[in-house]
Amino acid sequence: MTNLSQTKYGFEDFLLRSGKLDTTKTGKLSILSNGSGASLTDTLLKEKILDEEELAVLRAEYYKLPFIDMNKHVVDKEVLAMVPQKSIAMYQFVPFAFDGRTLKVAITDPTNLTSLEALEFFAQKKRYIVEIYLTSLSGFRHAVSENKNISLEVKGVLQDIEDKQRQVAEKNVKKDGVAATDEKVIIDAPITKIVDVIVKHAIEARASDIHIEPSEHDMRVRYRIDGVLQNSLVVPKSVHAAIISRIKILSNLKIDETRLPQDGRFHIQFGKTSVDFRVSTLPTVNGEKAVLRILDKSTGVPTLDELGVWGKKLAMIEDNLKKSHGMVLVTGPTGSGKSTTLSSVLTRLNKVGVNIVTLEDPVEYYIDGVNQAQVRAEIGLTFASGLRSILRQDPNIVMVGEIRDAETAELAVHAALTGHLVFSTLHTNDAIGAIPRLIDMGVDNFLLVASLNLVMAQRLVRKLCEECKKRTSVSKDLSVQIRKELEGVDPAEIEDLDFTDMKIHEAVGCNACGSSGYKGRVGIFEVLNIEKKIKQLMSDKSPMSQILDEAIKQGMVSMKQDGYIKVLRSITTVEEVLRVTKI
């Protein structure tokens, strides 16, 4: 364990030598401290001579410890869970990093011998090397607050379960017979509360998904926030089956079926917010895993501009929205924001004189004036069968949630050729990939040429937190990389950017963003406009590389290029762009 030491003179003298205090102030402080019985550090804070972080930095220097600002440091909840919550609260030290051998721990008071002894005992017991850092009290509180909130709520419920199980056991000693029924009744209520807590914290954290995952000895809960999974909670394996059963009851699933995957949904009212949950269960070697997709029905539909579609891309989309027929496709992997983009487009087209009919799985955004239907495969309402029915509803505009098979693809193309404006999605890596994908599905090349108007590919990147993002210079290598990537981009798209003194922003982390450095997401896009020259190349069955070259000549900006433009506009980071554009 790191040895603590201090300078050869007292802290008051150290403050004088550091230039933070003059002799007049120290004399006054000594009088105030002696008169009130408060410590020198408490008096410094009370008199507002130093703030808490400044004082912690000076104390770290005095005790020859490294300082860490835990207000800006993201703590992995698995590392935090290495030390019991009771010990963290009692001794005020918090683990924040672990590499398999060395555990880094932040303390608030290097003079607290009890805390240091407890830490040393813990290190010896676990055979860890411990590195001690100093942090402020507010930094310590911030580091444990997010984990503490949900953990304490669940911990209290788990204690209730243990107490009630003990009561049942005692009762059964006196009276045999109804143990199982009694135990089920008294445990159901606490389990309901645990599920409520998990759901509540997910909504408050702006999570899009909840993952409930059993392991050999426990069960963990993870939230997907801004596209990234984060650990939230670990509970004993003993409550896993009951939690899954509660979720199944809410979703109208079969409780006794644990060998097969099941899908369901349920709805809750959270304050003034109406929230739907799509539930999927999967049997694993350690028990059933459940994923809950969160669909906030009260969320308004963002505009294309708010989604990050700007400049020439927006102009191309708007031109195609004016057409009376044809097909517009949005491509990308699951969770890339395709449904949100299509909902934004439909909101833009939604007028009294237009009949818009959609077939979705599920309906994520509710749009007044749009006739929205939901796929119900279990009763035969699929994308293909539903699309046939929609075409008998006299629609002007049709939106099919996804083209999954040859039948749906054929029907969508047929609808686009018979006077309907058709919107749908595909799973391809880029915009150009939609062409061979539809041909592989069996769509005739000449029909595709006649029907396809535009393809837009997209990904979602995390937005930098406006409260804490930090301006920084670009390295020479990165500068060369960005310049090379943006070669050939229409100058009108990047005329507001300064390439002579290139500056970007980096993620830092603060209370507003949960110490991640990011808050919210924005899209990066590429738009393939199927113009005359591209239609001719498609008719000639030219290689995709040739079609792509022609699209670039016409000014198509790739997703990666759009990402770098948003990096230079201080919206996101290079790391985020590279994370989502790697194939």
Select from 359, 351, 365 the least CA-distant residue to 402.
359
pLDDT of the residue at 344: 96
Query: Burial of 386 by CB count in 10 Å (0-12 exposed, 13-18 middle, 19+ buried)?
Result: buried
CA distance 113 to 254: 56
Q: Using only C-alpha atoms, what is the Rg of the chain?
A: 30
pLDDT of the residue at 246: 93
DSSP 31-96: HHHHHH---HHHHHHHTTSS-HHHHHHHHHHHTT--B--TTS-PPPHHHHTTS-HHHHHHH-EEEE
Q: Are 429 and 526 in contact (CB under 8 A)?
A: no
Domain 11-139: give its CATH architecture: 2-Layer Sandwich (3.30)
Strands (E), 451-517: 452-464, 470-473, 503-506
Q: 178-296 sits in which CATH class? A: alpha beta
Find the helix packing angle between 137-174 and 52-62, rounded to 10°: 90
User: Bigger pLDDT: 57 or 24?
Assistant: 57
User: Bigger pLDDT: 6 or 343?
Assistant: 343
Q: How do the domains of the chain map onto residue ranges? A: 11-139, 178-296, 304-462+521-557
Q: What are phi and psi of 173, to 5 degrees?
A: -65, -40
Q: Is the pLDDT of residue 339 over 80?
A: yes
Residue 80 Cα distances to 219, 294, 512, 518, angstroms: 16, 27, 21, 21
Per-residue pLDDT band at 507 (split at 50, 70, 90)? very high
Q: Count CB atoms within 10 A of the CB of residue 473.
A: 11
Q: Are 55 and 69 in contact (CB under 8 A)?
A: no
Per-residue pLDDT band at 299 (split at 50, 70, 90)? confident
* DSSP code of residue 152: H
The predicted model gives 129-143 an average pLDDT of 89
Top-ranked range on mean pLDDT: pick from 41-55, 118-132, 262-276, 453-467 = 453-467
From 221-230, 293-302, 307-316, the region with the lowest mean pLDDT: 293-302
Question: Percent of the chain scored above 90 by pLDDT?
Answer: 54
Select from 357, 376, 570, 379 the least CA-distant residue to 463.
570
> What length is written for the chain?
583
- Kindly give, in sequence order, each residue whose CB lies less than 8 Å from that of residue 6, ignoring residues fewer than 6 positions away: 62, 63, 64
The predicted model gives 484-508 an average pLDDT of 85
The predicted model gives 13-28 an average pLDDT of 65
Considering the entire predicted model, what is its pTM? 0.69
User: Bigger pLDDT: 87 or 26?
Assistant: 87
Q: Are 215 and 228 in contact (CB under 8 A)?
A: no
**Fold entry, domain 304-462+521-557:** Rossmann fold (3.40.50)
User: Bigger pLDDT: 393 or 269?
Assistant: 393
Find the helix packing angle between 574-581 and 559-568, rounded to 10°: 170
pLDDT of the residue at 23: 56
The predicted model gives 290-305 an average pLDDT of 88
Q: Are 558 and 458 in contact (CB under 8 A)?
A: no
The predicted model gives 220-241 an average pLDDT of 90
From 161-165, 352-356, 551-555, the region with the lowest mean pLDDT: 161-165
pLDDT of the residue at 178: 43
Per-residue pLDDT band at 38 (split at 50, 70, 90)? low
Q: Is the pLDDT of residue 185 over 50?
A: no
Top-ranked range on mean pLDDT: pick from 6-10, 30-34, 440-444 = 440-444
Strands (E), 368-487: 371-374, 397-400, 421-426, 452-464, 470-473
Per-residue pLDDT band at 539 (split at 50, 70, 90)? very high
Per-residue pLDDT band at 363 (split at 50, 70, 90)? confident
Q: Cα–Cα–Cα angle for 506, 511, 515, nearest 5°? A: 45
CA distance 209 to 214: 16
Per-residue pLDDT band at 400 (split at 50, 70, 90)? very high
pLDDT tens readout for residues 64-84: 999 999 887 777 777 887 887
* DSSP code of residue 529: E
pLDDT of the residue at 180: 46
**CA 182, chain centre distance (Å):** 41
The predicted model gives 526-548 an average pLDDT of 96
Per-residue pLDDT band at 182 (split at 50, 70, 90)? very low
Q: State the average pLDDT for the chain.
A: 86
pLDDT of the residue at 327: 98
Task: Give the end-to-end CA distance of the chain in Å, rounded to a whole number.
Answer: 44
From 215-229, 279-293, 449-463, the region with the lowest mean pLDDT: 215-229
Q: What are phi and psi of 568, to 5 degrees?
A: -70, -20
CA distance 361 to 319: 28
Top-ranked range on mean pLDDT: pick from 42-51, 409-418, 514-523 = 409-418
pLDDT of the residue at 532: 94
Q: Is the pLDDT of residue 348 over 70?
A: yes
Cis ω before 362 (30° cut-off from 0): yes
Identity of residue 369? G
Dihedral over alpha carbons 398, 401, 406, 411 (to 10 degrees): -10
